[in-house]
Amino acid sequence: MMDKERFLLAKERIQEIADENLLQPEFGKYFKKTADFLCLICDTWTFVSEGGLARSSMEELKERNHRLYEDILPENYQNSYGNPAYSVRKLGEGYGQLLSFLYAELRGMIPFVYEKRLEDVVIRMELFLEIYSSFVCEQTESGRAPEYELLRENFYWFVSDYTRQATLRKLEDSLDPASDFARNIIEGDLSDPGYLFYFGEYITDNEIKTWEHLNSLPEETLKKMADTCTEGYRIGFEVGNKDLSKKKTVNIRYCLGFEPMIKEVVKNFRQMGLEATIYRAASSILQEKGMNRTGYYGAVPNRQYDFDHKDDQALVLDKRLVQVRMEAWQEGYEKYKEQAAGFGGPAVVETFGESPADLKENPSALHLSKSQQKLTVEYRSAAGELQNKYIKGEERSFTIIAFPVPEIGKNFKDIFDEVIRINTLDYKLYQRMQQKMIDTLDKGSYVLVKGMKGNKTNMKIMLHTLTDPDRQTNFENCVADVNIPVGEVFTSPVLAGTEGVLHVSRVYLNGLEYKDLMLTMEDGMVRDYACSNFDSPEQNRKYIKDNVLYHHDTLPLGEFAVGTNTTAFAAARKYGIEDKLPILIAEKTGPHFALGDTCYSHAEEVAVYNPDGKEIIARDNEYSIKRKEKDGQAYFNCHTDITIPYDELGEVSVVTYGDEVIPIIEEGKFVLAGCEELNIPLASLK
Predicted confidence (pLDDT) per residue in 199-222, tens digit: 999 999 999 999 999 999 999 999
Q: What is the DSSP letter of 623?
A: T
Q: Average pLDDT of 284-300?
A: 92
**pLDDT per residue over 11-36, tens digit each?**
999 999 988 988 999 999 999 999 99
222 vs 216: CA distance, rounded Å? 10
Residue 391 confidence (pLDDT):
95
* Burial readout 500-524 (b: 16 or more C-beta within 10 A, e: otherwise): bbbbbbebbbebbbbebbbbebeeb
Q: Average pLDDT of 255-275?
A: 98
Residue 480 confidence (pLDDT):
63
Please, are residues 535 and 597 in contact by the beta-carbon 8 Å criterion? Answer: no
Q: Average pLDDT of 648-673?
A: 96
Q: Which candidate, 233, 260, 258, 226, places its Cα nearest to that of 247?
A: 233
**pLDDT per residue over 558-602, tens digit each?**
999 999 999 999 999 999 888 888 888 888 888 999 999 999 998
Please, are residues 77 and 305 in contact by the beta-carbon 8 Å criterion? Answer: yes
**pLDDT per residue over 82-94, tens digit each?**
999 999 999 999 9
263 vs 258: CA distance, rounded Å? 9
Beta strands at 275-277 and 249-253: parallel, antiparallel or unpaired: parallel
Q: For the range 161-164, what are the long-range contacts, defined as Cβ-Cβ under 8 Å and sequence gap of 24 or more?
A: 162/123, 162/286, 163/286, 163/321, 163/324, 163/325, 163/328, 164/324, 164/327, 164/328, 164/331
**pLDDT per residue over 32-52, tens digit each?**
999 999 999 999 999 999 999
**CA 162 to chain CA mean position, Å:** 24
Residue 343 makes CB contacts below 8 A (sequence gap 6+) with: 174, 175, 247, 248, 249, 250, 251, 391, 396
Question: Is residue 324 pLDDT above 90, yes or no?
Answer: yes
123 vs 102: CA distance, rounded Å? 12
149 vs 339: CA distance, rounded Å? 41
Please, are residues 277 and 305 in contact by the beta-carbon 8 Å criterion? Answer: no
Phi, psi torsion values for 55, nearest 5 degrees: -100, 0
Please name every residue paired with 453 in a beta bridge, in sequence order, or none if there are none.
none
Cα(first)–Cα(last) distance of the chain, in Å? 73
Residue 327 makes CB contacts below 8 A (sequence gap 6+) with: 164
**pLDDT per residue over 502-513, tens digit each?**
999 988 887 788
384 vs 218: CA distance, rounded Å? 42
259 vs 198: CA distance, rounded Å? 13
207 vs 276: CA distance, rounded Å? 22
Q: Average pLDDT of 320-337?
A: 96
Mean pLDDT score of the chain: 94
3-state helix, strand, coil in the chain (%, to 5): 50, 20, 35
444 half-sphere exposure, CB direction, 13 A CA radius? 25
Phi, psi torsion values for 209, nearest 5 degrees: -70, -30
Residue 341 confidence (pLDDT):
96
Please, are residues 168 and 335 in contact by the beta-carbon 8 Å criterion? Answer: yes
Please, are residues 279 and 232 in contact by the beta-carbon 8 Å criterion? Answer: no
Q: Which candidate, 114, 94, 103, places its Cα nearest to that of 32?
A: 103
> pLDDT > 90: what percent of the chain?
84
478 vs 433: CA distance, rounded Å? 11
Question: Is residue 1 pLDDT above 60, yes or no?
Answer: no
Q: Average pLDDT of 268-272?
A: 97
Question: If pLDDT is split at 50, 70 and 90, which confidence band does 684 have?
Answer: confident
Question: Is residue 289 pLDDT above 60, yes or no?
Answer: yes
Residue 17 confidence (pLDDT):
95
Residues in the chain: 686
Q: pLDDT higher for 361 or 281?
A: 281
Q: Average pLDDT of 645-664?
A: 95
> pLDDT > 70: what percent of the chain?
99
**pLDDT per residue over 391-425, tens digit each?**
998 899 999 999 999 999 889 999 999 999 999 88
Residue 686 confidence (pLDDT):
65
Sheet containing 343-352, strands listed edge to edge, beginning at the edge strand earlier in sequence:
275-277, 249-253, 343-352, 399-404
**pLDDT per residue over 331-370, tens digit each?**
999 999 999 999 999 999 999 998 878 888 899 999 999 9
643 vs 557: CA distance, rounded Å? 13
**Number of other CB atoms surrounding residue 152 within 10 Å:** 16
433 vs 504: CA distance, rounded Å? 27
Q: Average pLDDT of 106-129?
A: 97
- Using the Cα atoms of residue 598, residue 599, residue 602 and residue 605 in order, give the sign of their dihedral: negative
**CA 285 to chain CA mean position, Å:** 16
210 vs 351: CA distance, rounded Å? 10
- Residue 256, classed as helix, strand or coil, is coil
**pLDDT per residue over 66-75, tens digit each?**
999 999 999 9
**Number of other CB atoms surrounding residue 68 within 10 Å:** 22
